[in-house]
């Protein structure tokens, strides 16, 4: 087994895209539960991004200087 580190933005972006696609497919076709459960995750996720964005920019700390590699 190999462990691969992925950026959180990539993982969350993929999850959000999957929710939107599954919700759109559920709207077009009646697949049991429909689109409701998938689309119910999209709005709070987007709201959370909008609310946290100004705080994330303000709280970001500059990176310390790196030593040169010879």
Angle made by CA atoms 54, 62, 11, in degrees to the nearest 5: 60
pLDDT digits (tens, 9 = 90+) for 47-65: 888 888 887 766 667 777 7
HEC states along 8-49? Answer: HHHHHHHHHHHHHHHHHHHHHCCCCCCCHHHHHHHHHHHHHH
Q: Which of 8-17, 30-39, 41-50, 56-65 has the lowest mean pLDDT?
A: 30-39
Q: Are 35 and 24 in contact (CB under 8 A)?
A: yes
């Amino acid at each position: 087994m190999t462990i691969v580190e992925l950026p959180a933005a990539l993982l969350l972006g993929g999850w959000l895209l999957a929710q939107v696609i599954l919700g759109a497919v559920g709207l077009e076709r009646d697949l049991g539960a429909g689109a409701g459960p998938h689309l119910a995750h999209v709005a709070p996720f987007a709201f959370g991004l909008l609310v946290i964005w100004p705080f994330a920019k303000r709280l970001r700390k500059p990176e310390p200087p790196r030593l040169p590699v010879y």
